[in-house]
Amino acid sequence: MPFKDLGLLPELLSTLKPKAYPAPTPVQSELIPVALTGRDVWVTAPTGSGKTLAYALPVIHQLIKTLSNASTPPGHLARNGFSKNARLIQTLVLVPTRELAIQVSQTFMSLTAQWGSTYKMTVVFGGVSINPQMMGLRGGTDILIATPGRLIDLIEQNALKISNIKTLVLDEADKLLELGFQDELQHILSLIPANRQNLFLSATRPHGIEALAQSLLNSPYEIQIEGPTQQPAVIVQRAIYTDSTQRTQLLKHLIKLQNLKQVLVFVATQHSSEIVAAKLRVAGISAEPFHGQLSQGKRQQVLADFKAHRVKVVLATDLASRGLDIEKLPTVINFDLPRSAVDYTHRIGRTGRAGEPGLAISFVCPDSLQHWALIEKRHAVKLARESIPGFEATTAAIESGPGNGGIKGKRPSKKDKLRQLAASQLPPT
């Protein structure tokens, strides 16, 4: 089905360049017609499936219709407490990270560029000065893309009001919950009209998201696009068995031996990001860390250098597992396995996008064997563990005992540990 059959306005269809958007993806074909009716929609679709464009098009379509029918000039409506020509926020898009906010805003800007200032889109996020964002919101905006924390800051500064929202979009809703935005979400939801359209999008559907969806959505139309069955066709997955102490040397070896040109490497901590990047630079490999403690300017510079191939390797924490869109990224390496098995999908989903081939390598160590087995089970894959000559695992596999060790949400509680300690100190019977 072509875009012209989805019910979109002709002037909006003219913004879709055939080279960039030759035909709708499955999620776009399903979501756009339903969203145009005003119905709530709950979408579960993998990273790279085209979710952003799928909701951006109906949002802009409805904005054009609403403001074209308004009695005041397009894009300018009166509201209490603001200039009579101030714009009302028609659509609020909430995202979990700065990177995703920027990516989403780029999509919206590309779709509205031909109308100039007729329709105003604003993006706000934390980690940078709030003053320029407050200045940018003077006169209001039609579409606001925001991270929850910065949105609440701006509301408290009386820089904007969200009492007229007609459409709420939660993009990567599962990540919003995972990053601990529950309280912020509830506060924001209490400030917007109950009578609104909700578009709820996520790459996965963990148990914790069900309660939020039920409280937020009104008889939603559900769309589920399966991801794991699509990945093997374009992503080659490998598991290399080695000792944890050899991972940095192994990483250098793979980059040089296989002449890897552009590599996104996931590590567990900000400290590891800095340390491993420094060791790679000493070895003559251009590498930069990427984590939440870097300034926004630095993070944007790292991404720009990475995309332009001025930096070969980026060492990222899970902050980067969502919202990054590196065109034709060839390789992802899990230096540390993700704590959550679900995040394995998001990490390797950075490569193998838009039909391009990709390579995803995971370093598996003796102390992470059980966790790796869980990841394989959750994703219905079974990978042969490779051994690279000179980097073979020499230590024995560590038994984690009862429970699931370091697996997120399944670690033994303090009471469990105390019971185990008490049992170990009892005299033999």
State the pLDDT at residue 423: 53
By the 8 A CB rule, do 112 and 60 touch?
A: yes
| DSSP 8-class letter at 428 | P
Range of the domain at 33: 3-224
By the 8 A CB rule, do 86 and 32 touch?
A: no
Domain boundary among 224, 258, 278: 224
| Residue 419 belongs to some domain of the structure | no
Secondary structure (3-state) at 289:
strand
Residue 322 pLDDT class (50, 70, 90 cuts): low
| Residue 423 belongs to some domain of the structure | no
Rounded Cα–Cα distance for residues 146 and 272 (Å): 29
In this structure, the answer to whether residues 104 and 217 fall within a common structural domain is yes
In this structure, the answer to whether residues 209 and 96 fall within a common structural domain is yes
Mean pLDDT, to the nearest integer, of 326-347? 88
Q: Which residue has the tokens 């999008």?
A: 201
In this structure, the answer to whether residues 219 and 235 fall within a common structural domain is no
In the chain, the amino acid numbered 44 is T
pLDDT at residue 153 greater than cutoff 80: yes
Strand order in the sheet with 121-124: 121-124, 143-146, 91-94, 167-170, 197-202, 41-44, 221-224
In this structure, the answer to whether residues 207 and 354 fall within a common structural domain is no
Provide the 10 A C-beta neighbour count for residue 383.
Answer: 16
Rounded Cα–Cα distance for residues 333 and 41 (Å): 34
Per residue in 58-79, pLDDT tens? 999 999 998 877 644 444 443 4
Q: Which residues contact 313 (CB under 8 A, 6 or more apart)?
A: 255, 263, 264, 265, 277, 280, 285, 286, 287, 288
| Structural domain count, the chain | 2
| Residue 370 belongs to some domain of the structure | yes
Rounded Cα–Cα distance for residues 349 and 321 (Å): 8
CATH of the domain at 72: 3.40.50.300
In this structure, the answer to whether residues 195 and 293 fall within a common structural domain is no
State the pLDDT at residue 429: 43
| Residue 401 belongs to some domain of the structure | no
Question: Counting beta carbons within 10 angstroms of the beta carbon of residue 95, is it exposed (0 to 12), middle (13 to 18) or buried (19 or more)?
Answer: buried
pLDDT at residue 334 greater than cutoff 90: yes
Write phi, then psi, for 274 (nearest 5 degrees).
-70, -45
Domain boundary among 205, 224, 243: 224
In this structure, the answer to whether residues 345 and 307 fall within a common structural domain is yes
Higher pLDDT, 294 or 10: 10
By the 8 A CB rule, do 266 and 316 touch?
A: yes
| Residue 361 belongs to some domain of the structure | yes
Per residue in 351-375, pLDDT tens? 887 667 899 999 999 999 999 999 9
Domain boundary among 184, 207, 224: 224
In this structure, the answer to whether residues 254 and 298 fall within a common structural domain is yes
State the pLDDT at residue 77: 42
Supply the mean pLDDT for the chain. Answer: 84
State the pLDDT at residue 279: 96
| Residue 372 belongs to some domain of the structure | yes
In this structure, the answer to whether residues 196 and 49 fall within a common structural domain is yes
In this structure, the answer to whether residues 266 and 210 fall within a common structural domain is no
State the pLDDT at residue 418: 53
pTM, full prediction: 0.61
Residue 141 pLDDT class (50, 70, 90 cuts): very high
By the 8 A CB rule, do 29 and 6 touch?
A: yes
In this structure, the answer to whether residues 252 and 284 fall within a common structural domain is yes
Residue 14 structure tokens: 């003219």
State the pLDDT at residue 174: 83
In this structure, the answer to whether residues 300 and 360 fall within a common structural domain is yes
State the pLDDT at residue 75: 43
| Residue 407 belongs to some domain of the structure | no
Residue 286 structure tokens: 């251009």
In this structure, the answer to whether residues 138 and 21 fall within a common structural domain is yes
pLDDT at residue 88 greater than cutoff 50: yes
| Residue 291 belongs to some domain of the structure | yes
